[in-house]
Amino acid sequence: MTSASSTPLQDMIPECGAIGIDIGGTSVKGGLLLPDGTRHVSVPLPTNLDSGAGVFLDDLAHWIGALGCTCPMGVGVPGVFAPGSRKLTDSPNLKTLEGCDLAQELGQRLGREAASIRVGNDANLAAFGEQWLGAGRGHDDMVMVTLGTGVGGGIILNGRVFEGPAGRGGEVGHIRIHEGELAPIACGCGNHGCLETFASASAAQRLARNASLPTDLSQLADAARQSAGPARDLLETIGMDLGRGLAQILILLDMETIIIGGGFGAALDMLKPGIQEGIRERDFTARMPQILEAELGSDAGWLGAARYGL
Ligand code: BGC
C-alpha cells in the first residue's frame, strides 16, 4: 500500500467518485467520495452473517450497488489477507467469511471485474485514511489502533502501510497482555490474554455490564467525564490495559505518534491517563508518544478504502 499522498482530490478521484466500504464486526460503513471532497455516507448495513456468507454478500452487493457500480472501489475487512491474494485467511471476528475471495464474490454480484475491487485489512485502511485526510497527515511513521468489535492496528512506516509478507503486520489486537487467571476470556483467535479481550468496544461493554454501568460507551464516557467514580475507574483500567499493549508496539517500533480510532476511540480523553500508566509500567524507557484521537471518526475505514481503491 503506497503512501497516502497530498495530491489534490480532484487530481486523483474520477468524476464519478471513489467508493469505500468498511466491513466491521457489527455493521458495514461506506460511502462515495467525490473529487470536490463531498462525502455521501450510506446508512450503515448490519453485518448479519446468521444466514451464511452468501446471503450477507447478496445484501452487501445490493447496498453497494446503490452507490454506483463502476467507480473505483476499495473494501476493508477485519482479518488477514495474504498480500497478492484476495483471500481472507484468518478473521477472528468474522469467521464465516474466512476463505472468501471478497473481490471475486462482490465482482460477480456487481457485474464488474474482481481485479477492479481492492480488498485490504480494515485497520490498515483506517490508518491509510487517517494519514491521508485525518490526524495522521504529515506523519510518515505512525501506528493507528482501532477500538471496535475487535482491536485493529495499522502501521505506517516511511509513509507506507506495512502489511508484512504474510499480511499479519499490525495485528495488535492479538498482542498478549495478561496470562493465567488474569486472562479468563477466550479471544476470537482462540488464545487467551489478547489485548482485544480487554480494550475493544465489545470488551468495554462486557466489563461495563459486569460492573452494572452503562453499556452505551458514549454514556459511559460521559459518566466518567462528570465525576470520579466507577465509570472513570473502569475507563482508567481499560486504558491501562491498552497502554500495556501499546508499550509493546513502542518497544518494537519506537513510534512517536499513535492514533486511536474506532467507535470507542471517542473515549480517548478518559482512557488516556490509564494508557500513559500502562506504557510507563511496561516500556522501560517510559518515553511517551503523542497519542492522538482519530479525526475522521467512523469514516476513517471507508475513506482509506476509497483511497486504496484508487
Ligand atoms: C482482527 C484484525 C482487525 C481487528 C479490527 C481483529 O480481531 O484480527 O484483523 O483489524 O480485529 O477489526
SS3 per-residue string spanning 227-257:
CCCHHHHHHHHHHHHHHHHHHHHHHHHCCCE
**Is the distance from the beta carbon of residue 129 to the nearest atom of ligand 1 less than 6 Å?**
no
Report yes or no: 294 and 303 within 8 Å, Cβ to Cβ.
no
**Is the distance from the beta carbon of residue 245 to the nearest atom of ligand 1 less than 6 Å?**
no
Task: In whole angstroms, give the CA distance from residue 310 to residue 301.
Answer: 14
Report which protein residue has its CA nearest ligand 1's atom 9: 79
pLDDT value for 68: 76
Topology of domain 4-126+299-309, per CATH? Nucleotidyltransferase; domain 5 (3.30.420)
**Is the distance from the beta carbon of residue 92 to the nearest atom of ligand 1 less than 6 Å?**
yes
Report yes or no: 177 and 193 within 8 Å, Cβ to Cβ.
yes
pTM (predicted TM-score): 0.95
Which cell goes with 91?
A: 478473521
Task: In whole angstroms, give the CA distance from residue 310 to residue 294.
Answer: 22
Tell me the CA–centroid distance for residue 113 and ligand 1, in Å: 27
Which cell goes with 87?
A: 483471500
Nearest-atom number in ligand 1 for the CA of 173 is 6
- β-pair partners for 151: 147
Which CA distances in Å does 245 have to 107, 189, 210, 227, 266? 38, 17, 23, 27, 19
3-state SS assignment for residue 283: coil
Report yes or no: 61 and 109 within 8 Å, Cβ to Cβ.
yes
pLDDT value for 16: 87
3-state SS assignment for residue 186: strand
Tell me the CA–centroid distance for residue 205 and ligand 1, in Å: 17
**Is the distance from the beta carbon of residue 121 to the nearest atom of ligand 1 less than 6 Å?**
yes
Which CA distances in Å does 214 have to 7, 25, 116, 200, 204? 44, 21, 43, 16, 10
**Is the distance from the beta carbon of residue 171 to the nearest atom of ligand 1 less than 6 Å?**
yes
Give start-end residues of each CATH 3.30.420.40 domain in the chain: 4-126+299-309, 138-294
Tell me the CA–centroid distance for residue 142 and ligand 1, in Å: 18
**Is the distance from the beta carbon of residue 197 to the nearest atom of ligand 1 less than 6 Å?**
no
pLDDT value for 84: 74
Helix, strand, coil shares, percent, the chain, to 5: 40, 20, 35
Which cell goes with 265?
A: 476511540
Report which protein residue has its CA nearest ligand 1's atom 6: 150
What stretches in the chain show pLDDT beneath 70? 2-6, 69
Residue 176: exposure state from Cβ atoms within 10 A (0-12, 13-18, ≥19): middle
pLDDT value for 7: 79
Tell me the CA–centroid distance for residue 229 and ligand 1, in Å: 31
Report yes or no: 177 and 184 within 8 Å, Cβ to Cβ.
no
**Is the distance from the beta carbon of residue 90 to the nearest atom of ligand 1 less than 6 Å?**
no
Class of domain 138-294: alpha beta
| Secondary structure, 3-state, 36-81 | CCCEEECCCEECCCCCCHHHHHHHHHHHHHCCCCCCCEEEEECCEE
Report yes or no: 284 and 13 within 8 Å, Cβ to Cβ.
no
pLDDT value for 4: 59
Residue 179: exposure state from Cβ atoms within 10 A (0-12, 13-18, ≥19): exposed
**Is the distance from the beta carbon of residue 122 to the nearest atom of ligand 1 less than 6 Å?**
yes
Residues 55-81: tens digit of each pLDDT: 999 999 999 999 876 889 999 999 998
pLDDT value for 225: 98
